[in-house]
Amino acid sequence: MLTPNEMISKAIETGVNKANLSWWKMLILGIFAGMFIALAGVGATFGNVYGGKIAGACIFTAGLAMVVVAGSELFTGNNLMIMALFDHRIKLSRMLLNWTIVFIGNFIGAIFIATVVVISGAFDAIPDTVAATANIKVSLGFFEAILKGVMCNFLVCIAVWMAFAADTVSDKIMAIFLPIMLFVLCGFEHSIANMFFVPSGILTGAIYNLPAPSIADFLVHNLLPVTIGNIIGGAILVGGGYYLAYHSSKQKTKN
């Protein structure tokens, strides 16, 4: 495995590569990542119902495994691009452009899966659970949602950071597994996963005449604070913290 001193160089180069993608590649790969996370959410939903919370948490790890191994752009993981920004390898505008386009792509991918899964009848046996999950997520207080978002993306970005140490597919999946399982098991909030969970609950509520949140509730009371928390946990705590701990001044070059 790579050492943290070697991992920081790999993380910075990855950030540079992500910043240099064309906007349409960011969007397409963002859509893929949104679909991967949403599909993991589908599996985790059934896992929670039929196998318990630990089963659901273990199943959900497939989402980031697909993102990292198959190759795609995930907003929460891309918060680590801030390492390349701190190293003066990319401009703030390029990082924010990536985050914005990838966020939109993730939303499109997650909404697509939510729509297909609900309309296909995959949740016919558990509509109450799907709607209840959405209601719980929008009922969080604003500050509570931020804090749960912080802890979630702290663990997600730790998983991505650990994956930088691995050279094989199996090692990357093993590195990802435990941190992702922890965030799901603890009930922390992931903005991209919620792009699947809440809209699927809204659609399920509409189809099965069940209480469900509104789109405005989702955007204001969940997605906004959770996204803020995700950025703090991923970019500031993990990205900023590990950059300060392991960067080498010799690696710094002006863009």
Cβ(97)–Cβ(23) under 8 Å?
A: yes
For residue 1, what pLDDT is reported? 86
Distance of CA 192 to the CA centre of its chain: 5
Question: Hey, what amino acid is at 182?
Answer: L
Full set of structural domains in the chain with CATH: 4-119+130-251 (1.20.1080.10)
Q: Would the pLDDT of 251 be above 60? A: no
Give the Cα separation of 156 and 161 in Å (integer): 9
- Within 10 angstroms of residue 121's Cβ, the number of other Cβ atoms is 10
Question: Hey, what amino acid is at 125?
Answer: A
Q: Would the pLDDT of 202 be above 80? A: yes
- Reported as a single tens digit per residue, the pLDDT across 43-70 is 999 999 999 999 999 999 999 999 999 9
For residue 248, what pLDDT is reported? 63
Q: Which stretch of 1-5, 108-112, 180-184 has the lowest confidence by average pLDDT?
A: 1-5
Mean pLDDT of the chain: 95
Band of residue 247 on the pLDDT scale cut at 50, 70, 90: confident
Give the Cα separation of 101 and 105 in Å (integer): 6
Give the Cα separation of 89 and 91 in Å (integer): 7
Q: Would the pLDDT of 147 be above 50? A: yes
Question: Hey, what amino acid is at 244?
Answer: L
Q: Would the pLDDT of 95 be above 90? A: yes
Phi and psi at 72, nearest 5°, equal -165, 180
